[in-house]
Structures are given as structure tokens and as C-alpha cells.
Chains A and B, each alone.
Chain A
């Protein structure tokens, strides 16, 4: 029997593997989309630029200045 011969079982296995792969890709896409949606929902993000600024100081200190 030639090694390359395709049996119906190979098609079924391919279908199963392809389906699983699609599910995994879909799951990654959902997690990515969800992350973007969650980040957009949150408050403004400010990176630390090593310079003192009003929004980075505790409220009491800000008021005393």
C-alpha cells in the first residue's frame, strides 16, 4: 500500500485538526478584541516621563503647593 494514499479517515482527521485550529485562532482574536475594548473603556493612561507633574502627585502634596 503506498504511503501517500489518502483514506476517508485522513480527511476526517484533517477536518478535526482544521476545526480545532480555527477555534484557537478565533479564541486569540476574541481575547485580543476584548483587550482592546477593555483598554478603551478605562481611564486615560499616562506614561511615566521622569518629570514631576500635577497628575502624578498625591492630592495632599498637590494642594499644599
Chain B
């Protein structure tokens, strides 16, 4: 091979694999960010006191950026297992578009910027909570527990549950029973939501040596765990109705939504694999879709009650 051929080959490879702006955005997991923005916004808006719109906007922006930073750190560390699994193989790092080192650098810089800016814009309690959330997701979940225990989803759910607490702290500068219950709502919702998905999306986690409950303990046990976590979720969701942030709209929504979710979890538990395969996991798919609505409507109802109080 001549020098010219070698050079052309290298240029072609570089051109094909060079990242665009969208690839760097993809490192921040924009879909996860949308949930973070919504729940943090509700936490911020229902908190007593209120902040100026500009400070509120800045707080949400940097909470979202902090979530994105932890996503980039997750993609840096998990590049090896992402490359093995079909669902994640096209992510920028395993696809070879963004070097792993750049994902790490981006994640670290965005973490620092988001925490410092949130602290300057609001207060250092909110900033510390954001720093802890990034640490929890990137180190405790991604580096440690994800590959160590089938309860990884339960623990990882904590990182996703922090945004409303941070939004609340951005306004009040503290953590209260209402913000802890908002945390509890997302924390207890995550396992049944994710395991319902795991039952019908037969993912290739085993190829990547990631212990998932459906693989390590079987599908029957997963169905039981969905019911257990849903039963534990109900008092948390209803308990939030009796705090100062909630009102009649939330109470009515929580009663109806929890009754439907509980019925769905019960139906999942009562079924076996044969019945599920026969109807193409109809119940599991319905419960998964409803779980998305469940969380959105709970936080939406809190927002409606907050607006109701203002009128």
C-alpha cells in the first residue's frame, strides 16, 4: 500500500467517524433530560416562596445540564457494555464517533459548570444536591452497583428521583417532607416502570454481564417484585396528597391513578409467561405505557393545585 493510499484510507475513516454537534448532544441523553426538566420544574413551582422567572429558568437549565453531564459520564464508563448491546451500540462512544476521553471531559466540565452556576443562581443546598445526584448516578450506580446487583434499577432510580428535590431546594434552600415524598414517588415508581418494560423487551443485558432481575431471578420473581414495589408506591403517592403542596386535584388524581396502577401490577403478577406470550405481552405493555402517564399526571396534578391556589 502506497503512502497516498494509506493517507486516503485514514482520512476516509476519520471523516466517517468524526462527530457532529448532535453526537455531543446525544451524550447528554436528551430524553432522560425531558423527565428531569418536568419534575424539577414542578418541584420549583410548587415550593413556597417562589423565585424570579429568570432565576427559575437558570435553575432548571443547570439542573438539566447536570443530568446531561451524568449521562455523558455514564456513556464514558459504560462504552464497553453499550457496544455489546443492540439497543445501545449506536451511542456516540461505542459507534466510534466521540472518543471516550472526550465524553469524560465533557461530563466533568458540564458537572462543574452546572453545580457552580446553580449555586450562584440559587443557593448551595440546591447545588450540593445536584453534585450528589451526579456523583450518585455516575459513581454509585454506573461504576459500582449497575454491574453488581439485580437491584440496580431500584438504586439507579434514586438519581432520577432527585430533580424535584433540587427544584424545591432552589427556591426554599432546604429539604422538606413534601420534597422527600416527591423523591419517594419517582423512586418507588421506577422499578415497576422499568421491570414492566424488561418483561416484554427481551434485552441483551446478559451478553454484557449486567445482572437484570428478569435474568438473575427469573420472570416470575420480576412479576412479584413489580407488585411489591407498586404496593409500596401507593402510600407514598397518597401521602403526598396530605402535604401543603397538594390539593383536591392531586388527591383525586392519586386515588384514581394508584387504583389503576395497582390493578395493572396485580394482573402482571397473576399471569405466567405462557399467557403473556400468547397475547404478545399485552398487559405488560399496557402497564408500562400507563406508568408513563401515571408519573406525568401526578406531577401535573401538583402543578394544577399550585395554580389553583394562586387564583
Contact = CB atoms under 8 A, between A and B. Distances in A.
Nearest to B61: A30
Contacts of A20: 21
A34 B54 contact: yes
B21 A18 contact: yes
A38 B54 CA distance: 9
A13 B14 CA distance: 12
* Range for the number of chain A residues in contact with chain B: 10 to 19
B58 interface: yes
B83 interface: no
A48 interface: no
A53 interface: no
A13 B52 contact: no
A64 B55 CA distance: 42
* Range for the number of chain B residues in contact with chain A: 10 to 19
Given A30-B61, A34-B121, A16 B19 contact: yes
B20 A15 contact: yes
A9 B25 CA distance: 18
B52 A37 contact: yes
A15 B23 CA distance: 11
A61 interface: no
Interface in A1-40: 7-9, 12-13, 15-16, 18-20, 30, 33-34, 36-38, 40
Interface in B101-123: 117, 120-121
Nearest to A12: B20
A19 B15 contact: no
A41 interface: yes
A34 B21 contact: no
Interface of A: 7-9, 12-13, 15-16, 18-20, 30, 33-34, 36-38, 40-41
10 contacts: A7-B15, A9-B14, A9-B18, A12-B19, A19-B24, A30-B117, A33-B57, A34-B121, A37-B55, A37-B58
Interface of B: 14-15, 18-22, 24-25, 52, 54-55, 57-58, 61, 117, 120-121
Given A15-B20, A30-B117, 13 more contacts: A8-B15, A9-B15, A9-B18, A12-B19, A12-B20, A15-B21, A15-B22, A19-B21, A19-B25, A20-B21, A30-B61, A34-B120, A41-B55
